[in-house]
Every structure is written in structure tokens, then in C-alpha cells.
Chains A and B, each alone.
Chain A
Amino acid sequence: MRKSLFYLLVLVSLVLGACTPATATQAPTQAPANTQVPAATTAHEAVTLRIYLLDYTADTIAWLNSEINPAFEAAHPGVTVEITEGSWSGWDTTFSGFFAAGDGPDIINLGSEMNTLYGESLADMDPYLGEAAWPDVANFGPAIENAKYDGKLRGLPIFTAPRYVFCRTDLAQGTLPPQNFGDWVTFAQENTVIDAATNSLTQQALVPVDAGSMADWQWWLLVFYSLGGELYKADGAPNFDSPEALAATEFLLDMRQATYGSALDAVGSLPTGQGSVIDVNDETGANNGAICLAHSGWAAPAFDRPVWDNVSIEPFYGDPANFPNSRPVVLAFNDWLAVPEYSPNKELAAEWLKTAFSRDANNKWNETMGLIPARNDAQFGYVVESEQLKREAELASQYGVGFAGIEESAILSTIMQDALGKLITEELTPADVVATIQSQYAEALD
């Protein structure tokens, strides 16, 4: 009996001892959070509103923590706002954990195409953010559609980040911007330079999303939409067997070959440099290597860079010579904040969103990132003062096409990347590629 008691005591002390360090290490980080809660909280229910943001700038987070959250906490005694910063690299694993456990942040950060991916697990926020509850929602531009699923609001969009074609006018040979596919291929041949000694690019005519392969699925979609292509047929079936899909695929291969030559030439890609690929290296004075960049403002030079004197901003014009339905396109991406169905604090989350997405706050939030606010009435100040942003906002309103409404977007992305990866190695012909995507995507939708 005495022996059993001894064993028991040792066991309990071991278990308690194992628990102690975790408690001790958590204490210092938790203590300040308590001190931020106003004294009045004792009279209210203490709630922590958890927000998960992905890859925002330090300026944005600092602004949220210094202005928005204190103001919100003051207006909602007893509530503490806690921002967790994550990364787009690996977000899907993290989010699947939240949804599988039915527990996680009250507000999560999503990308444009994710409304279909997560829609069923997101809360219907119409009762809190619909026009009847919050008239301000009428001021959001087309990006608000990306924050809906099944016709109901699931959150609010932060910004619009369309993909433009930025070109260095001082370096380009030939007419800018190329107006059809043939012009682009000629442009690529004339403006690409390969160093014979290293068999690597030293100048690349066009750097689209993923410079190395030039065959990213998002770039494909932009080209496809510019031809007037529709992703789905009237009956909801995929439309990869359309002439537009084949032409977009052939264009990607033509551009790749006009830049890198045949796959067997094995030309090395542009060196990884600092800053935007269309910018100039301050230390060496050399250009970073790209003549044109088809990307969002994220990949363009900072607005205060001198290179902007020689940069044009255009939409992608499609191929009107061969496809009469072609239209200039800027593919509009946006980040939005959604409220998961599992959140017990939906109303509070909606209140925070209203605070952070007011006219002035939406403007300020985007100013910290140099992007275009999703609210139309928030496009003032820095947006109109900057020539670049003014131009970008004009193009977005004229030619913006949403990157949303894609069914099974994650699976489509995998299917397309797999097939397009084989296009650039010439394992598959363009016809094989679209046939593969069509059959695999149709099966996925079934």
C-alpha cells in the first residue's frame, strides 16, 4: 500500500511537473492582454475576438493594433481583439484545421476564388452586413461579389488588386503595348536576350505570374478571359474544349518558346533579384531584366521609385485579330475577410468589420499597402494623388474581370498546373492539355 502511494505521488508530481513549464511560459505573453481590457470589463462578459490575417505589411498590422482595435475595444467593453498573422504559404493546412475542429478565429482572411471553396462553412452575414442592417455596404464595388456564396454575404472585401501589364517604355523595342497574340510573340522574340556564355536569360520580354514556366494557371485564365472565354457552358459543364481555351494554351506555349526557345534548349531563367523585375538595381544601376510585367501592383515597383517615369500601365488586350469577342482585361483579385460558421461571435465580428471597413478605415488600410480600396467611396486621397493608382483604378473599373466563382478552384488549380507543366516540357500538345483539363475537371465537378 505504501509502495502504491509512493508510485502515485511520483506519478502525480511527474504529470504536474510536465505541465508546469507550459503554464510558466504562457504567463508573460498572456498578462499584457489582460491589462488591455478596460476596468469596466468586470461588469461585462469577457470575449476575445480572434482575427487571422495573411501576409499583411507591418504598417497595416501596426495601424490595426494602434487605431482600429483600441477604438473597437473602447466601444465594446470587455472585448479584446487578437490578431494572428499567418502566411499564404501553408494557409490551407491551417484553415482546414480550423474547420475540422470547428474552432478557430472569428474572422479569417480569404482570397478571391475561395468563396466557393469555403462557402458552405462560412456564416451568412446578411443579417449583420446586408443593406438593411448596414447601408454602407452599397458603397462596395464589384469586389463584394467575391465575398458572397449562394447569394449571401459571408464577409467583406478589403482591396482590389487587378493584374495589369506594366511595361518599360524606355527599354522596349517595337510598339507598346502589343495588341494581339501575334504582336506579343514578335515582341517576345525581339525583346528577349539570352546570354550565350551562361545559356540564361538576361532580359525577358514579358514576365507573367511565374516567370520561369510562364504557364501559371492564373495567367492562363487572364488570357482566356481576354478572348471572351467563359469558364462554364450554359449547362454548367467546363468550357476547356472551346476554341478560346485552345488559343489561350497555344499562346502560352508560343510565348514560352519565343522567350526560352524549345524545352530542350534548357535556357536558364532570369536571376532572382531584389525588387520588382521591371525596376532598376540601385547599387549596380542595371535593369532587373524584364521589359513587361503581367502582374498586380504587388510585383510592381514601389510608387516612389524613379522608374515609374518610364512605365506604362495597360490591360491585356486579347487577340481581336482572330477572336472578335476579345476585350481588354485586368483580372481583379481581392482579399476579403470572412466569418466562419463555427464562430460564436458573429455579431461581434460583423461589428469589427464595420469598424475596419468604414469609408476612412478602408482607405487607410489600403494606403498602408498601396492598393485600391474595395469601397468605391474610399478611393480618395492617395488613390487620386498617385498617378499610377489613379490609372490602375480607372482600368480596374473599365476592364476588371473578377477572379471568383470558380467551382472546385483548388482542384482546378492542381489539374491545370499539372497539365500546363507538361505543356512547357512539350510532353503534351496544347490540344492534349485542354482535353486533359476538360475531362479531369468535368470528373471533379461530378
Chain B
Amino acid sequence: MPTNPYLSVLLVAAAAVLLIVLFSLGLARTARFAARLAGATRNQQANTYGGYLFAAPWILGFVIFVLGPMAFSLYWSFTDYRVTAAEAPALVGLDNYTRLILRDSGFRASIVNTLFLTAVGLPIQLGAALGLAVLLNQQTRGERLFRMAFYLPVILGFNTAVLLCWRLMLNTGTGIINQLIRALSAAFPPFGWLNRAGIFVVELVNALFLGLGSGKFNLLTAVWEAGLPAANRVPLWVQSPLWSKMSVVMLMAWGCGAMMLIFLAGLKSIPRELHEAAEVDGAGPWRRFWSVAFPLLTPYVFYNLVVGLVASLQIFEPIFVLYRDNEPLVSSAISMVYYLWQASFSHFEIGYGSAISWLIFLIILGVTAIQFRMQKHWVNYDLY
């Protein structure tokens, strides 16, 4: 074996290229042979050969980097495998799954939290995206600037600078968000009442979900009995377990730019004549939106709903970013995928983590299948 690391890298790269070429040729020839057996013409055989030859590198990558790990993960999910134990995985049958479903209160809490983020966060995210798309569809000056500004969070993602900004903005005492709430409450007393009512509702809902996760509802009772919060109350964004999930929802809404672009494309594809006809019939902007635009947008809503639901069921980054270094709040916001990460990469229980990942996969598969079955009742494809 060569001891020069650079030579090793070059040799490995050359071997990888050779593997890809050989696999591609092999697959293409096999496909052509199969086509010939199926009675394809020479031209069809050549097309099959070319198609498979070009698709083969991707297929190889898919097999090595997706199917292979999935197969390992499925196997490990039936084993007791700890990556730091220096021992081979030991088969334990369905133990990981039974522990997960029947005994693991932490996983149950993570499902409840994910449910919250999906049930509360996703509609807010969709609403924000749709609202922004409608605004951007108004042909106003600086439309491109706004479009870029609203899409920028998608590009920025959740890096360290973004994390620091959000932590500063969400600080209870000095954060700009709470400063705005205080200023508006002082300037417009009705806003103050609205703020207090909002805080009460949010804390009540969060106390309910925390209770569902832990099986104890004394916090819910306490929040209910305390009633409307004091006039000087503000949200305790990244400080209280009653607000930890709402902070994540806020980050979800902030990252709605991709959904917004989809909605904007949908709005722009609606024929102008339909709006004009409705206007002639006396429909106002509100009526035109709900009776003309929205029904025709339902395929886009469906797409965003499916993608958003899958994303929210797999939510990890915002929670990791906000609470990784604030451990006491993790349990109140932990999602299924964060729980998977914790089991696999913090506790190093790869076998158990694999079982969690397969269970999450099944949950997402089930939810997505239900959505596809339900779409015929509300998605309108008339225009397309």
C-alpha cells in the first residue's frame, strides 16, 4: 500500500472512476440485452443503451449512498449497536421497536412536539407564504427587491450568524421583537389586550401539548387558573418551555420563501381574463381571491402542503440551532428527528436510532399517502 496520502487519494479517485465506468457499461449492456430479448428494434436498443449509460452513474450513487445505508439501517434497527462500544451489533429482534412504541416516554413527547409544530407551524408557514405571494403579485415598485428579501432566509438557512441574530432578537428583556411588542402595547392599548390574550392562548395550548407529552396536566391547570397575564407580560421566546416551540414556529414562518415562490408562480399562471370577468360581475378583490384565485391555486397549496408536511415531520435544524446549547429547553421542543439525532449521535445507540428512523419513515409515508387520497376532495385541476 502506498504511504503517501496524496497518492492514496489519487488511486482511490481513479478506482472510483473505473468502477463508475464499468458499472455504467455493464448496466447499459444488460439493459440493451433485455430490450433485445423483449423484441425492441435496433434503434430502440440503442436508445435504451444510451439512456441507461447516462443514468448509470446516478443509479450507482443511489445504490451506494441511499439504498446501501437504508439496508444497513434496517438491519441495525433489529440490533443492539453502539458505535463506541467496540462490539459487533447484536441481534435483538423487535426489542428496539417495542421499547420505542410501548415504553419510551421521550419518543412519545417528541411525537407530540412534532404534531404541534405541524398543526400550528405549518398553517402559519403556508399562510405567511400565501400572504407574501399575494402581496408580491400586486405589481408594485420594488417587487424584485421584496421577492429577494423574502427568499433570502431560504438561502441563508440556519447558520451561526442567523442563530445569533435570532437569539438576540428573541431575548425576553432586550430583544427587538419584545421591544416592539412593548412599544406597540404602550402606544395602542387594544394591541396590549391582544398581546395578553395571545400570550394566554399560546401558553394554554403549549401547556396542553406539554401535558400530552408528559402525561401530567398540572401546568395546564395552573395556566388556566392564572387567567389573563399581567399588562407587562411579553412572550418568553427562548426562555420558557411554554414558548420554546413557538420560537421554532417563528423560524419556520421566516423560512417560507420557497413556498412563497411556488404560490407566486401559481398566481401568475391564473389567466387574467378570469379576474376581469369576475370584476365585471361585481366581485371585489376579496371575493375574487377566494372564488377565482384560490380554487385554481389548490394544486400549488397541495404541493406546498405535502412538501411542508414532510419537512415539518422531519424538522430538526431550527430546534438544534436554538436549543442545542440551552439544554433545559430541549425536552419541551424536541422533535422526532432531533430525538433520532440524540439517540444516534449523542447517546451513540445506532441500533435504536435506526429503529426511530424507520418508524419516522413509516409515519411520513402514511401521512403522505393519506394526503394523496384526500386531494381528490379539494384540489382543483380544471385549469391544468
**Hey, which bits of chain A sit against chain B, CB under 8 A?**
3-4, 7-8, 11-12, 14-16, 19, 23, 30, 45-48, 89-90, 92-93, 96, 99-100, 117-118, 120-121, 195-201, 210, 212-213, 215-217, 263-264, 266, 268-272, 341, 408, 410-411, 413-414, 417-418, 420-422, 424-428
Check B39 for interface membership: any CB of A closer than 8 A.
no
Are B234's CB and A410's CB within 8 A?
A: no
B332 CB to nearest chain A CB (Å): 6
Task: Tell which of A16, A46, A89, A418 touches B4, judged by Cβ atoms closer than 8 Å.
Answer: A46
Residues of A with C-beta under 8 A to B24: 11
Residues of B with C-beta under 8 A to A195: 173
Task: Tell which of B6, B17, B25, B182 touches A198, judged by Cβ atoms closer than 8 Å.
Answer: B182
A384 CB to nearest chain B CB (Å): 34
CB within 8 Å for A201 and B173 given contacts A11-B24, A426-B219: yes
Are B172's CB and A93's CB within 8 A?
A: no
Residues of A with C-beta under 8 A to B49: 4, 7
Task: Tell which of A3, A100, A271 touches B171, judged by Cβ atoms closer than 8 Å.
Answer: A271
Are B327's CB and A216's CB within 8 A?
A: yes
Q: How far is the CA of A197 from the CA of B233 in the complex (A)?
A: 9
B331 CB to nearest chain A CB (Å): 4
Are A425's CB and B219's CB within 8 A?
A: yes
Q: How far is the CA of A271 from the CA of B242 in the complex (A)?
A: 19
Are A210's CB and B4's CB within 8 A?
A: no
Check B326 for interface membership: any CB of A closer than 8 A.
yes
Q: How far is the CA of A15 from the CA of B25 in the complex (A)?
A: 13
Task: Tell which of B84, B168, B178, B182 touches A96, judged by Cβ atoms closer than 8 Å.
Answer: B84
| Interface pairs (25), CB distance under 8 Å | A11-B57, A12-B17, A12-B21, A15-B57, A19-B13, A47-B3, A48-B5, A89-B324, A89-B325, A117-B348, A121-B85, A121-B86, A200-B172, A210-B326, A213-B326, A264-B222, A264-B226, A270-B173, A272-B167, A272-B174, A414-B347, A417-B330, A422-B214, A425-B210, A425-B240
Are A217's CB and B168's CB within 8 A?
A: no
Q: Which residue of the partner chain B has the closest CB to A419?
A: B331
Specify which of B172, B232, B234 lies most central, judged by the most chain A CB atoms within 10 Å of its CB. Answer: B172
Residues of A with C-beta under 8 A to B347: 408, 410-411, 414
How many A-B contacts are there with CB distance less than 8 Å?
A: 165
Are B6's CB and A30's CB within 8 A?
A: yes
Check B239 for interface membership: any CB of A closer than 8 A.
yes
Beyond known contacts A4-B49, A19-B13, A266-B240: 10 more, CB 8 A cutoff: A8-B21, A96-B84, A120-B85, A120-B86, A210-B328, A268-B236, A269-B239, A270-B173, A414-B346, A428-B216
CB within 8 Å for A11 and B240 given contacts A30-B6, A121-B85, A198-B232: no
Residues of A with C-beta under 8 A to B57: 11, 14-15
B14 CB to nearest chain A CB (Å): 9
Check B230 for interface membership: any CB of A closer than 8 A.
yes
Check B53 for interface membership: any CB of A closer than 8 A.
yes
CB within 8 Å for A418 and B223 given contacts A120-B84, A121-B85: no
Residues of B with C-beta under 8 A to A270: 173
Are A426's CB and B331's CB within 8 A?
A: no
Residues of A with C-beta under 8 A to B172: 200, 268-269
B16 CB to nearest chain A CB (Å): 8
